[in-house]
Amino acid sequence: MADAIAASLHYLSIFVLFALLTGEHLLFKAQIDNTTARRLLRIDIAYGITAGLVLVTGAARVLWFGKGLDYYLGNSLLHTKVGLFLLIGLLSIVPTLTFFNWRNDLLAGKAPQISLAVAKRTIWVIRLELLLLVCLPFLASLMARGFG
């Protein structure tokens, strides 16, 4: 029963992570109003917290549930998944810094000013994060079938 709960929490946190990143993609624009900017900041904070939850629930599954620690540590697909997830985390620094740079404008009650170059870079990084996130379930399904 505990294994099913751990797996469910892991899957749920992954779904929430993808939904939050999709929300960032849908809301982010070069011309943004104060309300949307504040919403993006909140979504980005939730995204970071949820990414931590994905890591914690995934680690719990590796350490205490599933096929055993030795199986997972020897599986190259797990290393690939974790590496890809960490790459996504590093990429997420770009949107986070973009949103963080708005704090002075938001505190002054102004809409943030975003250059076209920063807007393009940020949206492409978010899209790359989404693309890489989509690869993770494929790797997980291969791993569950004994590959790696």
List the pLDDT tens digit at each of the 148 positions of the chain: 988 999 999 999 999 999 999 999 999 999 999 999 999 999 999 999 999 999 999 999 989 987 888 888 889 999 999 999 999 999 999 999 999 999 888 989 889 999 999 999 999 999 999 999 999 999 999 988 888 7
Can you read off the two tokens belonging to residue 77?
A: 């697909």
Can you read off the two tokens belonging to residue 135?
A: 């690869």
Confidence (pLDDT) at 73? 87
Confidence (pLDDT) at 68? 80
The Cα–Cα gap between 99 and 97 comes to 5
Confidence (pLDDT) at 90? 98
From the list 68, 62, 22, 65, the residue with the least C-alpha distance to 46 is 22
Cβ contacts of residue 58 below 8 Å, gap of 6+? 10
Handedness of CA 120, 28, 52, 67 (dihedral sign): negative
The Cα–Cα gap between 22 and 17 comes to 9
Percent of the chain past pLDDT 90, that is, above it, reads: 78
Handedness of CA 112, 35, 122, 43 (dihedral sign): positive
